[in-house]
Homo-oligomer: A and B are copies of this chain.
Amino acid sequence: MSRPARRDQLLAAAERIVRRDGVGHLTLDAVAVEAGTSKGGLLYHFISREALVTAMVERHLADFSATLEAAMAADPEPRGRWTRAYLHATAPLGGPSDSAAATGLLAAMASNPVLADPLRERYAGWRQQMARDGLPEADAMIVALAADGLWMADLLGFAAPTGDQRGQILARLMELAGSPAAAAAVPPPETRRAEAPAADRRHSS
């Protein structure tokens, strides 16, 4: 198997473990078993546990950046474009993004907070971009912060709004982010009939 493909498999296994069992269970053995390989095999691709966690952070960062830039490119209106893209990438309509999510961040914070530094730097950069987005600064920040809050609620299972309510919140945030279409994009509550109850995934363990 090709080297990058194998690395991806291992990273995916690590993410699955964090999501399913919690950061505390992210051990080399567990990752190896989850990926269907051996600890030796795992350590061949990542020379240490720290290297694995670092790679998880990087992967998460790359995923997020890609989503962000795609959303930017798809938005014709320059004013508030960045803020809307951030909202879209952080808190998508359909609930928690099934992909990398924040497992890397969690893993980093648990073992060594310094490993999350690349993320912190990026974040600081994003904040600066947001200041030049043509929106009242407080409004843009509120949209970003609310997106973060929603993301956290998704991640931790803290009564994250779903379905109809989530749609309304996101529409209102889009409005704050200067989207003229947003107000019209979501019809008033009366028109919208009860949606599918948005994949209720209460994890038990």
Q: Is the CB of A172 within 8 A of B139?
A: yes
Residue of B nearest to A151 (CB): B149
Cα–Cα, bound, A189→B136 (Å)? 8
Cα–Cα, bound, A109→B124 (Å)? 26
Q: Is the CB of B22 within 8 A of A138?
A: no
Cα–Cα, bound, A173→B146 (Å)? 11
| Other-chain contact of A145, B105, B119, B145 (Cβ < 8 Å) | B145
A38 within 8 A of B: no
A137 within 8 A of B: yes
Cα–Cα, bound, A158→B119 (Å)? 8
The interface residues of chain A, by DSSP majority, are classed as helix
Q: Is the CB of B156 within 8 A of A169?
A: no
Q: Is the CB of A156 within 8 A of B112?
A: no
Q: Is the CB of B165 within 8 A of A116?
A: no
Q: Is the CB of B23 within 8 A of A138?
A: no
Q: Cβ of A22: which chain B residues have Cβ within 8 Å of it?
A: 109-113
Q: Is the CB of B173 within 8 A of A123?
A: no
A1 within 8 A of B: no
Cα–Cα, bound, A109→B203 (Å)? 13
* A126-161 to B contact mask, C-beta < 8 Å, 1/0: 010000000011110110111111101100111101
Cα–Cα, bound, A103→B157 (Å)? 17
Q: Cβ of A118: which chain B residues have Cβ within 8 Å of it?
A: none
Given the interface contacts A113-B203, A203-B113, does A145 sit within 8 Å of B153 by beta carbon?
Answer: yes
Cα–Cα, bound, A166→B165 (Å)? 27
Cα–Cα, bound, A145→B90 (Å)? 13
Q: How far is the CB of A116 from chain B (nearest CB, A)?
A: 7
A52 within 8 A of B: no
Residues of A within 8 A of B (CB): 21-24, 105-106, 109-114, 116, 119-120, 123-124, 127, 136-139, 141-142, 144-150, 152-153, 156-159, 161, 165, 168-169, 171-173, 176, 189, 203, 205
